[in-house]
């Protein structure tokens, strides 16, 4: 990807991540309790980290600095599925805020759009550093998608969700 094309990509990525942060902040403001609040807080904080990384890349590009430091992504310490399972176990009988249920589908759609955006950029990336950064961003956004989908399923069918987590079957065995 040319430097100019990469700069354009960075600007678009920053805009999208800002929208994600605003979306999760709005979802938080509408539901101030329970598991939905915890999930939306975690996702908002992830978007803030993404924004910081992208701004570092933008600064490195503007100042002709080495991109390696700016594109570095630290490992995510938490397995998002485990985090969600732990939250769900603590709040098995929790009823979601009405706004949480509505926000879930919008969040799922948004995360899928981010995945597609990063995948499209990956197809155009030429440098190994760009490719690695984009692959990691895709993985993080896919993790957000899975987390939101799990929460959605949990709220739609808590018993089915719990059964799936225990890998129980209905075959009588």
CATH superfamily of 3-159: Ferritin, core subunit, four-helix bundle (1.20.1260.10)
Residues with Cβ within 8 Å of residue 59, at least 6 apart in sequence: 65, 70
Q: Kindly list the domain boundaries of the chain, sorted by start residue.
A: 3-159
Taking only the tens of pLDDT, the chain with its 173 residues reads: 566 777 788 888 889 889 989 988 988 888 767 777 888 888 899 889 889 888 888 887 777 765 555 555 555 545 555 555 565 555 555 666 667 777 888 889 988 999 999 999 899 888 887 888 888 889 888 988 888 888 888 878 777 777 776 655 555 55
User: What's the residue count for the chain?
Assistant: 173
Q: What is the pLDDT of residue 123?
A: 93
Q: Quick one: tokens of 4?
A: 């100019």
First to last CA, the chain: 55
Q: What is the pLDDT of residue 128?
A: 83
27: closest CA among 37, 19, 17? 37
CB 15 within 8 A of CB 113: no
d(CA 108, CA 89): 22
């Amino acid at each position: 990807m040319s430097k100019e094309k990469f700069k354009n990509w960075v600007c678009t990525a920053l805009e999208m991540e800002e929208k994600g942060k605003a979306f999760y902040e709005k979802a938080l403001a509408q539901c101030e309790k329970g598991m939905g609040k915890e999930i939306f807080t975690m996702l908002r904080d992830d978007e803030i980290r993404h924004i910081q990384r992208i701004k570092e890349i933008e600064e490195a590009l503007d100042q002709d600095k080495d991109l390696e430091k700016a594109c570095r992504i630290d490992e995510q310490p938490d397995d998002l599925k485990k985090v969600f399972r732990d939250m769900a176990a603590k709040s098995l009988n929790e009823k979601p805020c009405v706004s949480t249920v509505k926000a879930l589908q919008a969040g799922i759609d948004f995360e899928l759009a981010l995945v597609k955006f990063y995948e499209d950029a990956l197809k155009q990336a030429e440098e190994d550093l760009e490719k690695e950064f984009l692959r990691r961003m895709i993985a993080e956004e896919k993790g957000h998608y899975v987390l939101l989908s799990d929460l959605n399923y949990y709220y739609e069918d808590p018993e089915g969700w719990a059964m799936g987590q225990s890998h129980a079957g209905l075959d009588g065995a």
